[in-house]
Chains A and B, each alone.
Chain A
Amino acid sequence: MLRMALQNLLRKKSRTILAMLALIIGVMTIISLISITEGVKGRVTDVVSQMKGIVVTQEDVFMPTLSRLETSDINKIESIPGVSVAAPRIVGQIMLLKEGEKRSMTAQPFSIYGLDPAKEALTKKGSLPTGGTILRGRALKSGDTKAVVLDEDTAKDEKKLVGSKIELGGNKYTVVGLAEAVGGAGRMAVVPISEARDILEVPTDKITGIYVETNNPEDDKKIARLIEAKIDDSSAQTTEDFAQQLMGMLSNIDAFLWVISTISIVVGGLGIINTMLMSVRERKKEFGVLKAIGWTQENILQLVMYESILIGILGGIIGVTLGWIAVQIAKPLLGISIMTVTPSLAIQATLFAIIVGVIGGIYPAWETSRLDPIKAMSDR
């Protein structure tokens, strides 16, 4: 009977695909959205777990790279009791150009982190701005000039090894270390702060931010408020503040996913009901014959349910596959490498499609099983 159901579906391929279409789109959307948000979530938790201190920037700036603080603010913060270290930052973005190029359409934005190696070494999170470890070579140290630490992904893309040269903002830099590509901005170059000032053209008395650690992380919130009070137009964010903001955002995304999923169930289910009804009504005569030659109501119910469930299974598999492809395409575009379609997500989505198939089949199957064989057979 399963084979017969499959043959029935193959007989009208275009309609079968039509029946699956809404389901395929639904599954595909769910698969890609969930993978992407899971990826983003994973990355966010990564970042949050790596950041331990307080990040001070100018208040109400659109992007952290536009923020400007006074270099002297560092001393003001370090004079606050409980602060263990205040490290200056100059952060910005440039386009990474190929050798000899003046501009490029394909260049990706690339973060420059300028920091003071001596100060950075005093922090608990280690020598890198985003945490994580050095994989090859070494971290920056004080006294370094024209030295850079790249993340491993960038190094791979640009074919750089420890000791290679790379051009940033018109100057050549020697790669001294490769960093683990965790969270944060992904593609980045870490350079001494004076170099970043050069590349990003930030005046000597200005910096873009200050990274602060305290003796006792429990005091972070209190100290953040003290910093804001002490430095005009500043905003001091603790890891906790940051995490809360992000989690708030993510829970909105989750709610949005629920809405999308619900819509897909309804639309996919309606799509199946609609096409299945069309299909069984067209074959009324055939079902009448089946009934006449000894099929029971249950047999016919089963046949139609099989067809509908097969649509669910096929739609699910195709949807998962297309979703997976969409994720593979989105991955380099969004620059998030950790997002994947996990086997459990794929299985769940397929199960979901099968359930939609079951639900969509119930009414057409019920209607068909109740057919009066004589009326059905005389149907023209």
Chain B
Amino acid sequence: MAKKKMLEAREVKREYIMGKTVVRALRGVDIDIEQGEFVFIIGPSGSGKSTIMHILGALDHQTAGSVTLDGKEMARMSDWQLSMIRRNKIGFIFQNFNLVPSLNAIENVMLPLMTSDMNKTVLEARAIKLLKLVGLGHRIHHRPTELSGGERQRVAVARSLINEPEIILADEPTGELDTKTGTGIMQLMRKLCKEKGTTFVIVTHDTEYIQKGDKIFHIRDGLINQEIYKGGKVIE
């Protein structure tokens, strides 16, 4: 399959200044992600996984280096342009689901496009379709507090899909779920990748979710450990 390059990070550094000390969260990270790939980012706690995800997802700025999405440098974009990228091209899934408690499942799913000029009925139909896709056709009007952890994360998956994004960034999506529920979510994401061609970038601690053919980036101390994914196999 001829793959189109989507995200490209080059020599990305991210430093936090805390009083007199400088925390170097990323110390020169190179990452390439192509369309339709199922990508894992693994690494110990504090190694910079979330930091690179935020930068790839147009939520944060690197302090040095470049990140391009579809060949466009994101550092040069305005806050509004970045919002538009998040709205139209990217979907996010978070470890703690991050649903809006006052809204029910379908409203949470529609949330990213609620502010667009998309027709309400079309949007609603799309949201219902997605909730059915993630197996929540019977929980459409439930609020987050009325759903289990796995169900909440499935709402979040449906939400990340509402804008038909080219790429979905998931930071420890199974982190707060038991193995069985986590596996379910992971299988759902694989299915979406295969059927819709959506690109996934997933941060995880659980290497058992990784399968043959996945691309893996192992981060340690803010640097990519290259050897780790030789031949698509984790050597640690």
Contacts and interface: CB of A to CB of B under 8 A. Distances in A.
B60 A289 contact: no
B103 interface: yes
A297 B79 contact: yes
A374 B57 CA distance: 11
B54 A293 contact: no
Interface string A45-66: 0000000000000000000000
Contact of B83 (A8, A291, A377): A291
Interface string A275-315: 00000000001100111111111110000000000000000
Contacts of A289: 94, 98-100
A262 B40 CA distance: 61
A292 B60 CA distance: 10
B100 A294 contact: no
A8 B100 CA distance: 10
Contacts of B103: 4, 7
Interface in B94-112: 94, 98-103, 107, 111-112
Contacts of B125: none
Contacts of A11: 101-102
A373 interface: yes
B86 A292 contact: yes
A294 B102 contact: no
Given A292-B59, A292-B92, A374-B59, A297 B80 contact: yes
Nearest to B113: A294
A107 interface: no
B163 A285 contact: no
Range of interface residues on chain A?
Answer: 20 to 34
Given A1-B114, A374-B54, A374-B60, A294 B98 contact: no
B163 A294 contact: yes
A132 B107 CA distance: 66
Interface centre among A7, A286, A294 (most CB of B within 10 A): A294
A121 to B, nearest CB: 76
Given A292-B92, A293-B87, A295-B115, A377 B98 contact: yes
A129 B137 CA distance: 81
Contacts of B102: 4, 7-8, 11
Contacts of B159: 293
A297 B86 CA distance: 13
11 contacts: A289-B98, A289-B99, A289-B100, A292-B57, A292-B86, A292-B92, A293-B92, A294-B87, A297-B80, A298-B80, A374-B54
Given A294-B83, A296-B84, 5 more contacts: A11-B102, A291-B83, A293-B159, A294-B113, A296-B83
